[in-house]
Structure 1
Amino acid sequence: MRFRRALAIGATTLAALAGVLSGPAAPAQAAAPAPTAVAVTLANTIALNNCSASLVRFPSSVSTDSAMMLTNGHCYEGGFIAAGRVIQNVSSTRTGTLLNSSGGSVVRVRANRVIYATMTGNDVALYRLNTTFGALSSSYGAVPLTISAAHPTAGTGIGIPSGYWKRVWNCSIDGFVNTLREDTWTWKDSIRYNAGCDTIGGTSGSPIVSTVTGELIGINNTGNESGGRCTLNNPCEVDAAGNVTVLSGRSYGQQTYWFTTCLNSSRAIDLTVSGCLLTKP
């Protein structure tokens, strides 16, 4: 797991010449411009003491809602969360430093509650901060990342901005893993990055940001560091038939659109909502 131990696709359109039965040929149609990639920066990422995080909102969030901070479940201040355990609505005093686009410190933010955290099925910890989105915007110009409500797509260009390292990794989504297993934990529908996407310790909890939409489409969490098979820091891929594959050096992230499947009419996480994908206690 990538915590610190101290421990878009642009489509080219070919112009077609329109032929007619008589008269001169119609002029060539101009090629459609390729979409401009969104530049992913460190803006509104958060540096924790051992991990990365980000300021986030649901698609339905409003300015008067309490602001939220997202990181990995394995970055929870109480330590790794046991397999099968789900934490909901417990008090917290977790702090972090909100950053600007170049990695400069903007303000210290503080959580007052863990809204939801688990390391089973997913690897996420969502915190409620002691201020609102509107207050952070008016005082500091902070604009949270919007958690996409859609499943990400293979081939999408992504940026992985780490508040801990104050660095952005530019990668792409290679595909999805039925089950990713690491030690006693398993994660479902995990995001596999392209070969060479070398996220490191301290990047745990970094948002995965689409360079097409600018939305948060996943959360970075682990990578196979030494070729080990399903051990700590050496996750393995398990297909639907139970076959195990080890890809040494490959890095992975987890789904975040699941949060949007569990929102009630008050924009709160409710695991009883029909179709909710988040792991339940």
Structure 2
Amino acid sequence: MNKPLLAALAALAIAGTGVAPAVAATDAPAGTTARAATDAPAGTKAPTLKAVNFAGTVALSNCSGSVVRFPKSLDTDPALVLSNGHCLETGFPEPGEVIVGQASSRSFGLLNSSGTRVGTLRASKVAYSTMTDTDVTIYQLTTTYAAIRNTYGISALTLQDTHPVAGTAITVASGYWKRLYNCNIDGFVYRLKEGDWTWKDSVRYTSACNTIGGTSGSPVIDQATGKVVAVNNTGNEDGERCTVNNPCEVDQNGVVTVRQGINYAEETYQIPACFTTGNRLDLSASGCTLPKP
């Protein structure tokens, strides 16, 4: 996992808490905009890329995250924050565990476009959290999207509700480190296995997204649409096979591939179908495929 910070995890007595050394050669400094990591092939028209910045991202005590909304969310709905399952303040969910409606008063530092912290948001509960099939925590906040925009001039990021596409130019925006990592979606992994956890249909980055500890939970933003297509969560640090902090790829035939130095994210397109009117979680909703308790 792109691990949370050492002190916070030590307090939670969770294994695998070291922070990888910062390698920032591919990072954009705070306040700069993202660019495509590669040029379009000759003869093709490259998509118009939007400037990606930090507006709407948040810093957690040990991770990164973002204020997110769904395509059908209303301004008057309670706002949501997206991060990783392994960033949950009460510890890593066990394999097969799904947490719904857990009380939380966690705080989040809200960033503006230049990466400056402009305010503090607070959770009212953990709407959903799991490390099974995916690696997500979704917090419901005590305030609405409209109130956040009116107070801070910041709008939520929208989750794309369709599967991401290989080759897409993306930015991993870390609210914790205030860094932008720019690369492309290299492809998709049938199963990504790390320690006791297994994730399905994960996003593999090209090597330019050299994410580090503390970037866990960062939104992965499509540079052409500005929408969130995944949530950053892990990378193979030491070349080990399927161990904590060293995930391995497993294909449909059970063949294992280890890619040292390559990092990954979990898709988020399946999340909107599981939330209904008022941003209310409904795991029985038509089209909802998230794991259930």
The answer to whether the 8 A contact 2:172-2:209 is kept is: no
TM-score between the two structures when normalised by the length of structure 2: 0.86
Query: Are 1:139 and 2:151 counterparts?
Result: yes
Paired residue for 1:123? Answer: 135
Identity, % of aligned positions: 52
The answer to whether the 8 A contact 2:4-2:87 is kept is: no
1:107 to 99, 105, 119: 119
The answer to whether the 8 A contact 2:173-2:180 is kept is: yes
1:243 to 242, 251, 255: 255
1:1-281 → structure 2 map (5 Å cutoff): 1-7=1-7, 34-281=46-293
Opposite residue 234 of structure 2, the aligned amino acid is T
The answer to whether the 8 A contact 1:220-1:253 is kept is: yes
Deviates more, 1:254-263 or 1:149-158: 254-263
Q: Kindly tell me: are residues 46 and 267 of structure 1, through their superposed partners in 2, closer, same or farther at Cα, counting changes over 3 Å?
A: closer
SS in 2 for 1:131: strand
SS in 1 for 2:149: helix
The answer to whether the 8 A contact 2:73-2:278 is kept is: no
Shift of 1:234: 0.1
1-structure distance, mates of 2:190, 2:199: 8
The answer to whether the 8 A contact 1:154-1:176 is kept is: yes
1-structure distance, mates of 2:249, 2:40: 30
SS in 1 for 2:47: coil
- Gapped runs of 5+ residues in structure 1? 15-32
1-structure distance, mates of 2:41, 2:273: 31
Opposite residue 259 of structure 2, the aligned amino acid is L
Shift of 1:248: 0.6
The answer to whether the 8 A contact 1:161-1:206 is kept is: yes
Opposite residue 3 of structure 2, the aligned amino acid is F
Shift of 1:11: 7.4
Opposite residue 221 of structure 2, the aligned amino acid is V
Shift of 1:91: 1.1
The answer to whether the 8 A contact 2:59-2:109 is kept is: yes
- The structure that has the greater radius of gyration is 1
The answer to whether the 8 A contact 2:78-2:278 is kept is: no
Q: Kindly tell me: are residues 34 and 120 of structure 1, through their superposed partners in 2, closer, same or farther at Cα, counting changes over 3 Å?
A: closer
2-structure distance, mates of 1:36, 1:276: 32
Shift of 1:274: 2.6
Deviations 1:169-195 (A, max 9, x none): 001100000000000000000000002
2-structure distance, mates of 1:46, 1:173: 23
